């Protein structure tokens, strides 16, 4: 991996994590992307970080859809 690729990768991760560091889906999606690219260690780390952000698990039918516009 070249220095340019390493710096680009680092900046990409830093920007994503600084903008939306509490979103599970962003980390998991990015982690899955890196897993598909063969970057296993980084992919696993991002997926684990995303899963660590889970605070509440609920069923789809338990969501009050009338309140969705308030969030």
**Residues with Cβ < 8 Å from 49, sequence gap 6 or more?**
27, 31
Residues 10-47: tens digit of each pLDDT: 677 666 666 665 677 778 888 888 899 899 999 999 89
Which range of residues forms the domain containing residue 47?
3-70
Residue 17: the pLDDT is 61
Do the Cβ atoms of 10 and 42 come closer than 8 Å? Answer: no
Residue 61: the pLDDT is 72
Crossing angle for the helix pair 3-19 and 24-36, to the nearest 10 degrees: 160
Residue 28: the pLDDT is 86
Phi, psi angle pair for 35, to nearest 5°: -60, -40
Residue 59: the pLDDT is 73
Please say if the pLDDT value at position 63 is more than 70. Answer: no
* pTM for this predicted structure: 0.56
What is the total count of domains within the chain? Answer: 1
Residue 2: the pLDDT is 79
Do the Cβ atoms of 59 and 68 come closer than 8 Å? Answer: no
The owner of tokens 């599970």 is 24
């Amino acid at each position: 991996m070249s220095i340019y690729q390493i710096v680009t990768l680092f900046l990409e991760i830093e920007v994503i994590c600084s903008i939306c560091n509490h979103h599970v889906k962003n980390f998991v999606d990015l982690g899955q992307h890196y897993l598909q690219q063969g970057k296993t260690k980084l992919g696993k780390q991002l997926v684990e970080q995303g899963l660590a952000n889970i605070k509440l698990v609920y069923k789809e039918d338990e969501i009050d859809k009338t309140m969705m516009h308030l969030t």
